Structure 1
Amino acid sequence: MTQDYISYIRSKVGHDYIFLTFAVGILTNEEGKILLQKRGDKGTWGLLGGCMELGESSVDTLIREFKEESGISIIPKRLLNVYTNFEDSYPNGDIAQTVGIAYEVEATQPYNITNFSNQETLELRFFTQEETKQITIVNAQHQLILDEYFAQTFQLGN
């Protein structure tokens, strides 16, 4: 398939309410801060990751999207949780129930996030738990993933 899955499925259903599956990763630095991305679509902060393409595993999605959005090559260290009971809307009018698969990840080589930006990523920065309370997180799903990660308590059924 030459076009991305979201464009493909939206060409069939328009802005209708659908399921979309995402993989996101939590990368921490030596101080235990979490890397977040200031998103190009909404201008708010969120975890790095993206929507699965047809034929792709969640791990393949995560590795691809993390590299696209940060320039960082990663591997997943552990599955944290699967989040299924959230709705999100997008600036173009699309709405979806999002399935989010969250992983803890590690970089496979040294990286530099200084001045990294592209269409999807306006800025990259590491945040403490307290600092995440001072910024706007992209949606309730990402906020819950962050809260659970900092608490190291993952509830099933979200």
Structure 2
Amino acid sequence: MATPEFIRAIRATAGQQLLFLPGVSAVVFDDEERVLLARRADTGRWAIIGGIAEPGEQPADTIVREVREETAVECVPERIISVQGLEPIRYPNGDRCQFMDISFRCRAVGGEARVNDDESLEVGWFAQDDLPSLEEFAVQRIKRAAQEGPAWFAYDVPAGGAPAPEGPPPG
């Protein structure tokens, strides 16, 4: 995955310390309700499309850009399906990041799905009942996107606080 220039600039002074970064992901549906997936070049695994917001960029604009850059598909965001802080990760070079993921349900409105950059090995549309092997986090976002309802978010109830909202457990 290409590291954005603004992160390289931060790393020049911050070193490998933990960076908290704004991430976005998209469950993109076509007119047949198939899901757009890409097989990542870095892991070889199928995944939904995602990326990092650039400074000053709105999250919805980020996901439209990322889907276009990675798959050549034009999409429009329909709604937020989840907001979740992810577990910190350490990359092979030692850099540490923690992403705040905002996941969108999107609708494809143009373009032909194809590998459009060096981040993917394959790109394709998949029926929801015939998905390739995916990480559980991606499966949960696809399920949430296929359902109607409010955005899901993680919420730890403080002692004596209000009850947690109804909804599926973190995925």
- TM-score with structure 2 setting the length: 0.74
**In the alignment, what sits opposite 1:119?**
118
Task: Give, in angstroms, the shift of residue 69 of structure 1.
Answer: 0.4
Within 5 A, what are the aligned runs for 1:21-32?
21-32=22-33
Offset, 1:151? 5.2
**Higher normalized helix content (fraction of residues):** 1
Range moving further from structure 2, 86-95 or 98-107 = 86-95
Deviations 1:21-72 (A, max 9, x none): 1111111123322111111222212111210111111112112111110112
Given residue 45 of structure 2, which amino acid in structure 1 is its aligned partner? T
Structure 1 residue 152: deviation in Å?
A: 4.9
**Misfit runs of 4+, over 6 Å:** none
Q: Partner of 1:36 in structure 2?
A: 37
Residue 142 of structure 1, aligned match among 138, 143, 158: 138
The residue number in structure 2 matching 1:12 is: 13
8 Å CA contact 1:17, 1:95 repeated in 2: yes
1:67 aligned partner: 68
Identity %: 26
Bigger mean CA deviation after superposition, 140-149 or 41-50: 140-149
Asked if residue 155 in structure 1 is aligned to residue 152 in structure 2, the reply is yes
Q: CA distance change for structure 1 residues 14 and 147 in 2, over 3 Å: closer, same or farther?
A: farther
RMSD: 2.4
What letter corresponds to residue 140 of structure 2 in structure 1?
A: L
CA 1:148–1:34: 2 relative to 1, 3 Å: same
How many residues were matched structurally? Answer: 151
Question: Would the aligned equivalents of 1:86 and 1:99 in 2 still touch at CA under 8 Å?
Answer: no
- Normalised by the length of structure 1, the TM-score is 0.79
Q: Gapped runs of 5+ residues in structure 1? A: none
- Write the distance in 2 (CA, Å) between the matches of 1:94 and 1:44: 21
CA separation of 1:151 and 1:75: change in aligned 2, threshold 3 A: closer
CA distance in structure 2 between the aligned counterparts of 1:148 and 1:89, rounded to whole angstroms: 28
